[in-house]
Amino acid sequence: CQSQSISPDKLRSAQSVSVSPNVKVASTASYLGRAQLWGGVLGSAVGAIAGQAANKDVPDQIKLYLAQQNIDPGQIVRAEFQKGLRADPRFANRVVDVGSAHFELNVFIYGLTESGPFSSGYKPWLSVQATLIDASGKTVWQGKNWVGAHSDIAEVPFDQYFADPATFRNALTIAADEVTRSLLKDMGN
C-alpha cells in the first residue's frame, strides 16, 4: 500500500468527480505459481529462475484467455471504482460522467497467484494506482494498493479459472472491489 491522505480542502474543491474511461493496463498478465513460491521458500535463486522458465507461457495464456472472453481488467477496475465512489459519502453525490476533477486508474498487475506454497488454489492478483487530478491538471491525491495470495478472496483451482469465464471475471471483480475499498480508505478524511 502506497497512499497518502487528502486534505479536506482539496477534497471539497472537487465539486464533481469522474473516472477516466481510459484505464492503463499492464501489457502482460502476471502469474505466481508453485515453482516461484517454492523457489522463494527455499531461498533458491536457481529454483525461482527455473520456476519462471517453466511457467513463462502462463501470463500469455491468461492474457489471451481474457481477451477471447472479453474480460477487460481495466474496465472491471473502473466499474468497481465508480461503484466505490458512489457508495462513499465523500463522493456519492458528486460522481458524474465528466467532473471538475477526475480519477485516472492504472492497473500495474493483473493475473493469478497461488494462495501459498502448500495450497493448490489460486487467487486473483491485482495492483492498482488511482490518481485524483483537479480541473487545472494538478495531482491532488495518488494512492496504490493491491490484493494477492493473502487476501480474503476465496481460492479456486487453477483450471477452474479457464473452464468458466465467469470464474475469472468474478474473481477480478471481487479483487477490484477490495482494492477500491482500500484505496478509498487510504485516502482518509
Interatomic CA distance for residues 66 and 78, integer angstroms = 16
49 pLDDT exceeds 70? no
Query: Are residues 18 and 132 in contact, defined by beta-carbon separation less than 8 angstroms?
Result: no
Task: Output the pTM of the full model.
Answer: 0.87
pLDDT tens sequence across 145-184: 999 999 999 999 999 999 999 999 999 999 999 999 999 9
44 pLDDT exceeds 50? no
50 pLDDT exceeds 60? no
41 pLDDT exceeds 50? no
Query: Are residues 76 and 176 in contact, defined by beta-carbon separation less than 8 angstroms?
Result: yes
Query: Regarding beta strands 121-133 and 101-114, do their DSSP bridges make them parallel or antiparallel, or are they unpaired?
Result: antiparallel
74 pLDDT exceeds 90? yes
Decide which of 167 and 5 is more confident: 167
Query: Are residues 65 and 168 in contact, defined by beta-carbon separation less than 8 angstroms?
Result: yes
Per-residue DSSP letter, 14 = -
Decide which of 39 and 60 is more confident: 60
Query: Are residues 151 and 123 in contact, defined by beta-carbon separation less than 8 angstroms?
Result: yes
Query: Are residues 116 and 37 in contact, defined by beta-carbon separation less than 8 angstroms?
Result: yes
Which amino acid is present at 73? P
Q: Averaging pLDDT over each range in 7-16, 26-35, 51-60, which range is the top one?
A: 26-35
Share of the chain above pLDDT 70, in %: 86
Query: How many other C-beta atoms are found inside a 10 Å radius of the C-beta of residue 143?
Result: 23
Interatomic CA distance for residues 69 and 87, integer angstroms = 29
